[in-house]
Amino acid sequence: MESDAELKRLEGSFNEAMFRIYDEAKRKYSYNASRFLQMLHNSSGVEVARSLTLAPDASDGFTKLWELKRLDLTVEAHVLQPEYRALFTDADREAARNRLELYGWQPPN
């Protein structure tokens, strides 16, 4: 089990990663995910990721990144990164993996 301080550090790191997703999509693909950015300003990155990952349908941003062949930039792909494992439940990771696989992307092991 992670200490509170370690979980806080991981949450901060994940939050920064969510802002990097936004920045990279905007810079490289001129995709302005304004709704995603607003969500990040109103909630933590973990809360946003959990909300998007557990939603019954893929978000518009996920679909746009799929069209751009950049599913590696999705929230779902980040939920599966080993360094963030302590932040998410098995159900969160399963939902992320299922969505990615549904769209044809095999996450790295």
- C-alpha 10/C-alpha 100 separation (Å) is 23
- Concatenating the DSSP letter of every residue in 37-82 gives HHHHHHS-HHHHHHHHHHSSS--HHHHHHHHTT-GGGSHHHHHT-G
Whole-angstrom Cα distance, residue 26 to residue 21? 9
Q: Which tens digits make up the pLDDT trace of 60-96?
A: 999 999 999 999 999 999 999 999 999 999 999 999 9
Residue extents of the structural domains in the chain: 4-102
pTM exceeds 0.75 for this model: yes
